[in-house]
């Protein structure tokens, strides 16, 4: 069974068997507007919780993508290079950015469940 958590930077992480699938939330994609380019981390890259993991560019602006956990990138979503607009059409599904082998389960403690994240974005 997978578990999904959210960061205050508007990334989500879906956790299964110690690996997290990371992407941006629906709130983030709406704020960005039409996504035209995505820069992803390299497979094997070592990420730090809260550290930059990539860039998302839209017709409005460029925004950094932060890793919600520390760990090693084990897979990237190569289909985003050819079709970055997936971020706008399916942010929580086909538009995941990368998968990371979670180095420290304690990194998950500062993230929000869906209800807490929805309460958080209501205040923005």
Domains and CATH numbers, the chain: 3-115 (2.40.50.100)
Confidence of residue 104 (pLDDT cuts 50, 70, 90): very high
Q: Which of 39, 98, 96 is nearest to 71 (CA)?
A: 98
Q: Find out whether 105 and 76 touch, Cβ atoms under 8 Å.
A: no
pLDDT of residue 2: 77
CB proximity list for 109: less than 8 A, separation 6 or greater: none
Q: What is the pLDDT of residues 44-102, one digit of tens each?
A: 999 999 999 999 999 989 999 999 999 999 999 999 989 999 999 999 999 999 999 99
pLDDT of residue 115: 96
Q: Which of 107, 104, 85, 105 is nearest to 95 (CA)?
A: 85
CB proximity list for 123: less than 8 A, separation 6 or greater: none
β-bridge partners, 30: none
Q: What is this structure's pTM?
A: 0.96
Q: What is the pLDDT of residues 37-46, one digit of tens each?
A: 999 999 999 9
């Amino acid at each position: 069974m997978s578990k999904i958590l959210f960061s205050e930077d508007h990334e989500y992480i879906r956790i299964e068997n110690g690996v997290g699938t990371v992407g941006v939330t629906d709130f983030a994609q709406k704020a960005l507007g039409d996504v035209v380019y995505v820069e992803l981390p390299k497979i094997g890259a070592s990420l730090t919780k809260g550290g930059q993991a990539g860039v998302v560019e839209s017709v409005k602006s460029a925004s950094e993508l932060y890793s919600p956990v520390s760990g090693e990138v084990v897979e990237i979503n190569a289909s985003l290079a050819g079709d970055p607009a997936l971020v706008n059409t399916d942010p929580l599904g086909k538009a995941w950015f990368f998968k990371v082998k979670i180095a420290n389960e304690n990194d998950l403690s500062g993230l929000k469940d869906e209800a807490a994240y929805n309460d958080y974005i209501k205040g923005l």
